[in-house]
Amino acid sequence: MNSLPQVPDYITRLLPQVAGKPISAVKRELGLREVIKLASNENPLGPSERAIEAMEQAVRDAHRYPDAGQYDLRLALAEHHGLAREEVVLGNGSSELIDLLIRTYVDANSHVLTSEGSFIAYKMSTESLGREFRTVPLTAEHGYDLDAMLEAMTPQTRLVFIANPNNPTGTMVGRDELQRFIEKMDAKTGPTPPLLVLDEAYCEYIEPSLAPDSLAILKERPGTVLLRTFSKAYGLAGLRCGYALACSEIVGHLNNVRSPFNVGSIAQIAAIAALADTPYLEATIATNHKNRKALEKSLVARGFSVTPSHANFLLVDLKCDGKRIFERLLQHGVITRPVGVYGLPNCLRITVGTAAENARLLDAVDAIFHVRPQRLVVTDRNLWRQMARMARAQLRKLQPNRIGAQREDQRKVQGIAQ
């Protein structure tokens, strides 16, 4: 009998990848008809109409290979960001670019450094390439511990990932903090500083006055890469299109490593249309801010802790086993994301949905935690008196002959109103 070829140890050590459960799988497995997904930080508004129209046109040329040089979209992105086309490269989602960066820059004598509580793809890509992955824990506030990262940095640190805002915590490294980190990192590592990858998958959601000027950092510090994606605020996760902004030398290396047709023609064309659809992006951001605020408030009112978020999801501390609540929510047709792998076993990551989706989530949460509707609290004395009068009149009508009804009913009304 033929035996199978040997697999390197670093491959056999890999754990199965766990992506957000698709709606179809939950419907099939649990026999549910109505399922909502708040698990992968997608845009709940769907794609922009302009992107849909572009895709409909592009479908007619689907028998052709895509443009391997990615000319039009790279040009559109270069103009959008005030860079040259040679400073832009596309990936099959920014996930592919994470992989390509590690393949290109990290060898057997060097390692990747990031936070333990940051995007799991950094670990998966590094380990699937047999490279060394190092992390430091999150701060108590669920942010990047930049001092600990500086401490952990050695001459062998080749690549540093900072997701900003961070997934799964939604926290952000601010402008000054980032600047200080870069200065200290470069001072510590001397002539061979690590490649700094600022993964900005959620940057569109940051309040502009708080956002670091990463493009200025890129211009000043050539060993920097910015990763962006069309999967989140641009609403095109299913098409798999992300991009990196970097100096032309880095882009040249990534272009040599990537496969020529890594981004499909429909994705490239839809992304150009999505990039131009500013009203859609603005509506996305405004909807997210409004719904995120409301959802956070509702969760806090129920006694959960929510990490302040700069993205389109919330990290919610349920103060009990997050995986168990994830399973229970699934039974209610709500898909969320357990985050035990990030060292946050009591938390769930919940994407901000539409108002209706968020209401559905809260109903499911209330059913699971047996939250009773809150008692009506009336602080306005006049309003309270008016309500009590109306209730007494109603009761008199229903029970005109009941002895002592008035006083007793008054007490009841008082009980309800307090």
Ligand X SMILES: Cc1ncc(COP(=O)(O)O)c(C=O)c1O
Q: Are 127 and 148 in contact (CB under 8 A)?
A: no
Distance CA 102, CA 111 (A): 9
Q: Which long-range contacts (C-beta less than 8 Å, at least 24 apart) are formed by 319-326?
A: 319/346, 320/346, 321/345, 321/346, 322/346, 322/347, 322/348, 325/368
Assess contact for 112 and 120: CB atoms under 8 A: no
Closest to ligand X by CB, 101 vs 334, is 101
Which residue type, as a one-letter code, is found at position 104?
A: T
181 binds ligand X, rule: CB under 6 A:
no
* Choice between 227 and 330, CB closer to ligand X: 227
Using only C-alpha atoms, the chain has a radius of gyration, in whole angstroms, of 26
Does the footprint of ligand X cover residue 201 (CB under 6 A)? yes
To 10 degrees, the CA torsion angle through 95, 97, 98, 103?
130
Name which of 342 and 365 has its Cβ closer to ligand X.
342
Nearer to ligand X, 314 or 365 (CB): 314
Binding status of residue 224 toward ligand X by CB under 6 A: no
Is residue 93 within the footprint of ligand X (CB under 6 A)?
yes
**What is the residue type of 347?**
C
Does the protein bind ligand X through residue 199 (CB under 6 A)? yes
Rounded Cα–Cα distance for residues 355 and 360 (Å): 9
Burial of 272: CB neighbours in 10 Å, binned 0-12, 13-18, 19+? buried
Task: Say if residues 329 and 368 touch (Cβ distance below 8 Å).
Answer: yes
What's the min distance (Å) between Cβ of 233 and ligand X?
A: 11
Contact residue for ligand X among 229, 288, 336, 346 (CB under 6 A): 229
- Binders of ligand X among 13-42, rule CB under 6 A? 41
Cβ distance to ligand X smaller for residue 173 or 413: 173
**Using rule CB under 6 A, residue 242 touches ligand X:** yes
> For residues 58 and 98, which CB has a smaller minimum distance to ligand X in the complex?
98
Q: How far is the CB of 41 from ligand X (least distance, A)?
A: 6
User: From CA 46, how far away is CA 238, in angstroms rounded?
Assistant: 11
Query: Any contact of residue 284 with ligand X (CB under 6 A)?
Result: no
Stretch that binds ligand X, among 67-75, 129-137, 184-192, 229-237 (CB under 6 A): 229-237
DSSP state at residue 87: G
312 binds ligand X (CB under 6 A): no
Please tell me whether residue 339 binds ligand X under the rule CB under 6 A: no
In whole angstroms, the minimum distance from the beta carbon of 100 to ligand X comes to 12
The answer to the question of residue 94 lying near ligand X (CB under 6 A) is: yes
CB-based closest residue to ligand X: 93
Location of structure tokens 């008016």:
386
The answer to the question of residue 237 lying near ligand X (CB under 6 A) is yes
Q: What is the rounded CA–CA span in Å between residue 310 and residue 345?
A: 22
Judge contact between 227 and 195, C-beta under 8 A: no
CB of 97 to ligand X, least distance (A): 8
In angstroms, give the least distance from the CB of 98 to ligand X: 7
Spatial separation of the C-alpha atoms in residues 364 and 195, rounded to whole Å? 44
Residues 138-177 interacting with ligand X (rule: CB under 6 A) = 163, 167
Pick the stretch among 92-100, 169-177, 319-327, 367-375 that binds ligand X (CB under 6 A): 92-100
How many residues appear in the chain?
418
Footprint on this chain of ligand X (rule: CB under 6 A)? 41, 93-95, 119, 163, 167, 199, 201, 229, 231, 237, 242
